[in-house]
Amino acid sequence: MNNLKVFVLLAGMTALFGVVGQALGGQGGMLIALLVAGVMNFIMYFTSSKTVLHAYKARTLSPEEASGLYATVDKLRQRAGLPMPTVAIAPHAQPNAFATGRNPQHAVVCVTEGLLQLVDQDELEGVLAHELGHVKNRDMFLQTLSATMAGAISNLARFGLYSPTARNEPASPLGPLLALLAPIAAMIIQFAISRQREFKADATGAQISGKPLALASALEKLQQSARRIPMDVSPAVAPLAQVNPLSAFKGLSKLFSTHPSTEERIARLRVIAAAKG
C-alpha cells in the first residue's frame, strides 16, 4: 500500500510537470527545466554522503573506535541482507540518526552522541534498523527522483515568468498564478512522498530488528528530546534525520513536513507489534 501511494504521488507530480510545462514553457522549456534539475540532483546524488556528513559535522568510525555500535550495525545489516555500511557519529547532544549514500554499497549510517547516551540496546537496534530500512528500500534514489521533478517544476515556473514562451501564443492570464502555485504544489507532493518513506522505513526497521515496540519507544524519546535540545544543522539536511531535529509540525503546516507525526508512527508500530503477537 505504501508503494502504491508513492507511485500515485509521483504520477501526480509528473502530471503537474506536464501541465505547468505546456502552460508556461512549452516543450522547449520543459526540456530545459528537467535537464537543469536533473543535473543538479545527479551531482547531489553522487556526493550526498560527503555533503551530509559535513553538514552534520560527523566523522566515520572504525570497528576499534566503537566496537559495540559497529557490531550492532553489522548484526542488523546481515539480517537485512545488506552490505556493511560506513558507520559515523555526529557531535550533537540531541539524540537522532540518519542514513545517506547513493545505494546500499555506498551507504552511511550515522548516530549522534546524544542518541548513544539516551536509548537502551533494544531501542538502539530499533533506530539503526529504521535507518537500514531506508538503505534497503533505496530511499535516497526515490528522494532524488522526486526532488528532480519538484526542481524541474520550480525551474519551469521561473522560466515561464522571466522568459518568452517557446510558442508564438499569447501568454495565459493564469500564468503568473500557476508559476506561483505550481512549485508549492510540487513541494507538498515531494514532502508527502518523504512522509510515506518514513512509514515504510519504520515498518522495514521493525521487521529487521524484530522489535517494533523498542523502535516506538525510541521515537518517543527522540521526539521529546528534539523539542528540548536544539541542533545546529542546516534545514536542507534536517529531513534526513529520524525525527525532525528543528521543529514539530502541527495543523496545516503538516503539509510542509518531511516527517509524519511521531504519534502516528508509534501507533502504526504498535499495530505491527500486535500483529506479531
**Which of 20 and 71 is assigned the larger pLDDT?**
71
Q: What is the mean pLDDT of residues 81-99?
A: 96
Give me the DSSP letters along 171-194. Answer: PPTTHHHHHHHHHHHHHHHHHHHH
Q: What is the pLDDT of residues 107-119, one digit of tens each?
A: 999 999 999 999 9
Per-residue confidence band for 186, with pLDDT thresholds at 50, 70 and 90 = confident
pLDDT at 250: 47
Domain extent listing, the chain: 2-276
Q: What is the mean pLDDT of residues 65-76?
A: 96
Nearest Cα neighbor of 128 from 84, 92, 93, 94 is 84
pLDDT at 252: 47
pLDDT at 258: 80
Spell out the residues 6+ positions from residue 139 whose beta carbon is closer than 8 angstroms to its own: 197, 200, 201
> What whole-number distance in Å separates Cα of residue 222 and Cα of residue 117?
12
pLDDT at 190: 76
E strand segments, the chain: 59-60, 86-90, 97-100, 108-112
**pTM of the shown model:** 0.79
SS3 108: strand
pLDDT at 118: 96
The amino acid present at 89, given as its one-letter code, is I
83 grid coordinates: 552490505
User: Is 198 a residue of the active site?
Assistant: no
Q: What is the pLDDT of residues 135-178, one digit of tens each?
A: 999 887 777 666 666 666 776 666 655 555 444 454 555 567 76
Per-residue confidence band for 203, with pLDDT thresholds at 50, 70 and 90 = very high
Query: Which of the residues 125, 131, 169, 220 is marked catalytic?
Result: 131
Q: Are 239 and 259 in contact (CB under 8 A)?
A: yes
When mean pLDDT is compared across 16-25, 55-64, 73-82, the lowest value belongs to 16-25
Q: Burial level of 180, CB count in 10 A (0-12/13-18/19+)? A: exposed
Q: Is the pLDDT of residue 8 over 60?
A: no
Q: What is the mean pLDDT of residues 225-235?
A: 87
H helix or E strand, kind and range, residue 165: none
